[in-house]
C-alpha cells in the first residue's frame, strides 16, 4: 500500500506563486507578451496559476516531450507535440513542474534556442538539484525539494494524483 504525505501544502504553493509572478513582472516590466511554454502534462497546473499571478501580458503554449532513462549520452528526449506558434523574436519562459535530472529541459532548451527567441528563461515549481545530470539554470524556482518521489499539483505517478492540491511524497 502506498501512502501520501503532504510536503508542500496548497496555501504555501499559492503564496510562492504570487511571489514568482511579482518577480516576473519586475523582470519584464512594460514588456510582453511573454510566451509561457509549458511542458505537458505536469506543468499544466503550475502554468495556469503562474499565468494568473503575473500582470505582464502572456501567451500560453504547450509542448510534449518524451524523455528516456538517460542511459544514452544523446537523444534521450524527443518532441511529441511541438509549439503551435513560432517564438522567434519573443520573450519565452519555459514552464516545468519539476527539474530532476535536467535531461528533459536541457534537450528542450537546445530545441528552443534554434527557434531564436529574444530571451529564454525557465520557471520550475520544484527543483531536485541532488539528481542533476545536465546543468541547467532555473531562473524562477518555487521550491527546492529532497530526493523523494513527489505527486500532486500536476505531478503524477503513472498518470494518477495530478489533481491533488498539495505536493505530496508518495511512499511505499
Residues forming contacts to ligand IMP in the complex (CB under 6 A) are: 39, 42, 67, 96-105, 149-151, 155
Residues 30-89 within binding reach of Mg ion (CB under 5 A): 42
Residue 149 contacts which entry, ligand IMP, Mg ion, none (Cβ below 5-8 A, type-dependent): ligand IMP
Under 8 Å between Cβ of 54 and 36:
no
Residue 124 binds which of ligand IMP, Mg ion, none (CB < 5-8 A, kind-dependent): none
- Residue 34 or 99: which CB sits closer to ligand IMP? 99
How far, in Å, CA of 150 to CA of 131, rounded? Answer: 14
Q: Which of 69, 100, 147, 166 is catalytic?
A: 100
Q: In the complex with ligand IMP, which residue's Cβ is closer, 17 or 56?
A: 17
Full DSSP string of 58-104: EEEEEEEEEE--S-SSS--EEEEE--SS--TTSEEEEEEEEESSSHH
Q: Rounded CA gap, 149 and 2, in Å?
A: 12
Distance (Å, rounded) from C-alpha 15 to C-alpha 53?
A: 10
CB of 29 to ligand IMP, least distance (A): 29
Identify the three-state secondary structure at position 27.
Answer: helix
3-state SS assignment for residue 153: coil
Does residue 147 have an active-site annotation? Answer: no
Smallest gap, in angstroms, from Cβ of residue 27 to Mg ion?
A: 24
Minimum distance of Mg ion from residue 172's CB (angstroms) = 23
What's the first-to-final CA gap in the chain, in angstroms? 6
Assess 152 for contact with Mg ion (CB under 5 A): no
Give the nearest distance from C-beta 121 to ligand IMP in angstroms: 17
Sites of contact with Mg ion (CB under 5 A) = 42
Positions marked catalytic: 100
Amino acid at each position: 500500500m502506498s501512502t501520501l504525505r503532504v510536503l508542500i501544502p496548497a496555501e504555501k504553493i499559492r503564496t510562492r506563486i504570487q511571489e514568482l509572478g511579482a518577480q516576473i513582472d519586475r523582470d519584464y516590466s512594460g514588456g510582453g507578451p511573454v510566451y509561457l511554454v509549458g511542458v505537458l502534462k505536469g506543468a499544466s497546473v503550475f502554468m495556469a496559476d503562474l499565468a494568473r499571478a503575473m500582470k505582464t501580458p502572456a501567451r500560453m503554449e504547450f509542448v510534449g516531450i518524451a524523455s528516456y532513462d538517460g542511459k544514452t549520452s544523446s537523444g534521450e528526449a524527443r518532441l511529441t507535440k511541438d509549439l503551435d506558434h513560432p517564438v522567434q523574436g519573443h520573450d519565452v519562459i519555459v514552464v516545468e513542474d519539476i527539474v530532476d535530472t535536467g535531461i528533459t529541459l536541457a534537450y528542450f532548451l537546445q530545441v528552443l534556442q534554434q527557434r531564436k527567441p529574444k530571451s529564454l528563461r525557465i520557471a520550475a515549481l520544484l527543483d531536485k538539484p541532488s539528481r542533476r545530470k545536465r546543468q541547467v539554470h532555473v531562473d524562477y524556482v518555487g521550491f527546492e525539494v529532497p530526493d523523494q518521489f513527489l505527486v500532486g499539483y500536476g505531478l503524477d505517478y503513472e498518470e494518477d494524483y495530478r489533481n491533488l492540491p498539495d505536493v505530496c511524497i508518495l511512499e511505499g
